[in-house]
Amino acid sequence: MWGSGVGVRNLGLEMGRFLGKKPVMRVLAAASCFSHWTLMFPGEGARPKEDYAMSLATPEASSASGQLKSLQVPVPTVAPLPPTPTAKETVGSSQTPVLEGLPPLGTSPLLSQGACGHRTLGIIGGKPAPERKWPWQVSLQLRGRHRCGGSLIAPQWVLTAAHCGILSFHSFREFTVMMGTTYLYSHCKTTVVVPVKHIKSHKDFDWNLTPNDIALLQLAHSVNYSAYIQPVCLPRKNFEVRPGTQCWITGWGRTLEFDPASMSPKLQEAEQLIIPLKQCAVMVEKTSNKSGNRVQKGMVCAQNIKSEGPCRGDSGSPLVCQFQTSWIQVGIVSWGDRCGLKEVPAVYTDVSFYKDWITARMSQASGLDSGFLILLLCLLLPLGILATL
C-alpha cells in the first residue's frame, strides 16, 4: 500500500495498493520470525496497478456501543447481532457514521461460524502486539511468491478477488495460502501455509470489465484458529456502510506505484473513509480517460485524505469496518486508476452484494443445500462452535 498501500487492479490502474507522494502506511511489526528471507520481486495480482504505503500499527482506541471505530481490542465472543429491528434503520448516533441495512435482532451473520471478527492483542512491553491485529489477512502465493491478498472467512475458505488471475494461466495446484504472520518472506513460529484445493471465481467476471470481481478459495484442509489466525465476519445481504465511516485495509502491496521492488515485506494498514457510489463515479470519470459506467452496484468506494490506500499486490485483500466488538469485511480490494492520489478513490467488491453467491458456492463444495447451510450456521452460532465446511 502506498501511505498504506494495498494492491489493486488498474482499469486504468489495477488495484492492489494505493500510492501517495511518500510512504505513509503503517507497517505491522512481526514477532518471533526468522530473518533469513531473501528479497525477490514477488508476483502481483493481474489487475492492480496502484501503490500506497501504509504506516506503523498503532494502539487501538475503544469505540462506543453501536458505533464504528478505527481500532479496538475486543474480547472474543460470538459474531455481533445488531439491535435494530428494521432493515434501513441506522445504528448509533445520527452524527457518527455507522453500518446500515442490518437485519432484525435474532438473525445470524451470513457465514459466521461461531466467533469471528475478533482479535487477541496481547500486550508486549506496554503496546499491543501488532502481529495479531489483522488475524484474517492471508497471502495468496503462486509457487511460493506473493500474488494477492485475501481473507480467512472459515476454517477451509478464503475470500479474494477474481482478477488475481487464479484460473487464467495457472493450475490451482500451484497456489498456496500463507497466514498467521505479518512477514511476507520470513518464517514465524505462527506461520501456516496451506495448499489450495479448489478455486471458485464468479462466472460473470470479465477481465475487461469491473463487476463480479470475487473468488473463493477452498483450502486442502482446515486450519486451526489461534491468536494469530482468526476468521473475519461477513455481512448479511443488504448490509450497508454509511458514507464517512472509518474502515481499514491491509496488505503487502507496493509502496511506490511504479517500482516493482517496493513490495512491502511487512504487512501494512491504511485507514479508508467510505464515500457514496455516485460521488465515486463522478470522481473516477474526472480522473480517468476511460468512458462508461465503471462504478456500479455491487461495489464499495473509499478514499484517504492522506493518500493512503491499495496498490499492486494488495488485490483481494479485505476492507474491514468495526461494529461494536467485531470486525466485518465490507469490501475486497478490486480496482482503481492510480495509487496514492486522494482525488482517486479505491473501488472494492461489495461483499454483502454477493451474499447469495458466497453461500451457494460454499454449500455446493460441501454437498449441502444453501438453506441447510444457513440453518446449520444459525444453530452453531449460539454455541460458539467453529465448524468446518
* Residues classed as catalytic: 163, 213, 315
User: Cβ distance 330 to 235 under 8 Å?
Assistant: yes
Q: What SS3 class is residue 389?
A: coil
Q: Give the span between the Cα atoms of 53 and 309, in whole angstroms.
A: 7
What nine digits make up the cell of 278?
455516485
Environment class of residue 252 by beta-carbon count within 10 Å: exposed (0-12), middle (13-18) or buried (19+)? buried
Q: Which residue has the cell 502486539?
A: 129
Identity of residue 166: I
Residue located via cell numbers 498467521: 180
Q: Calculate helix-pair angle for 370-380, 355-366, nearest 10 degrees.
A: 90
- Beta pairing class for 33-34 and 187-188: antiparallel
Q: How far apart are CA 74 and CA 325, in angstroms?
A: 5
350: closest CA among 277, 253, 268?
277
- Cell 453500518 belongs to 99
Number of Cβ within 10 Å of residue 87's Cβ equals 15
CA 285, CA 293: separation in Å to the nearest integer?
9
Exposed, middle or buried by CB within 10 Å (0-12, 13-18, 19+), for 111?
buried
What cell does 210 get?
A: 469491473
**How many CB atoms within 10 Å of residue 62?**
10
**Contact assessment for residue 109 and residue 352, using Cβ atoms and an 8 Å cutoff:** no
Cell numbers linked to 119: 482479535
Q: If residue 215 lies in a helix (H) or strand (E), which one and from where to where?
A: strand 215-219
Cell 505491522, residue?
28
